[in-house]
Structure formats: C-alpha cells, structure tokens
Amino acid sequence: DSGVTQTPKHLITATGQRVTLRCSPRSGDLSVYWYQQSLDQGLQFLIQYYNGEERAKGNILERFSAQQFPDLHSELNLSSLELGDSALYFCASSASGDTQPQHFGDGTRLSIL
C-alpha cells in the first residue's frame, strides 16, 4: 500500500461528458503528479502540483485541468471527453521536490463509450 488513494477506481462515461478524478496523497507529501497511460502507450506526465501551486506541466490537453487544495488532495478534471481519452490515470505523490521518490496510487480507469 503506497498510501496514495485514488477515486473512483473505475469510471465509465460517454463522449462529451466531464469527469473529476480525485487523489489523496500520502500523509505529509506536498507534491502531487498526474499521469495518463493510454492503451499500448507508456506513462505520459500530465501535470505536477506542489503545496497548492502548479509546478510543472507536461502533455496535458487544454480540455483537462487540475488543482491541489489546501488539504493537499488533488483533482483532475477532464471535459468534452473523447474516445481517445480512455486510459488509466495515475496520481503519485512525493515528500517535496523532484529528487524524492514518487509513490503511485492504483489509478483510475476511465472508459469512454
């Protein structure tokens, strides 16, 4: 158990809809990272937050947004969903900066019908 909790575990929705994925980091971790793993692809870094502020941005679409709240949990919002957004979305947390190991949640599997 990594200590990182992601909800929901599975999500099925339709094209054009909007969903919110939630991540609770390990106790004491200040950094939260979001990743996308599409079918037959590796992990793609989406975005990082550190103590409530956006720290780094990867290949995140404009239809996607994220935030980190004062209690350090984070949400990833995906809107105007397309079939290609079907993927496994991982959240990871680390103690502070980028030289700390990241601890991954079990992921949220999003299926777009």
Task: Give the interface size with other proteins as a residue count (CB under 8 A).
Answer: 23
Provide, rounded to whole angstroms, the least separation between the CB of residue 15 and other proteins: 27
25 is a contact residue toward other proteins (CB under 8 A): no
80 is a contact residue toward other proteins (CB under 8 A): no
- Per DSSP, the three-state class of 9 is coil
93 is a contact residue toward other proteins (CB under 8 A): no
- Tell me which residue has tokens 């980190």: 68
Among 58, 63, 96, 113, binds other proteins (CB under 8 A): 58
- Per DSSP, the three-state class of 83 is helix
86 is a contact residue toward other proteins (CB under 8 A): no
Cβ count near 71 (within 10 Å):
9
Interatomic CA distance for residues 1 and 47, integer angstroms: 23
- Tell me which residue has tokens 């680390």: 94
Strand partners, 86: none
| Site of interaction with other proteins (CB under 8 A) | 2, 33, 42-45, 48, 55-58, 90, 92, 98-107
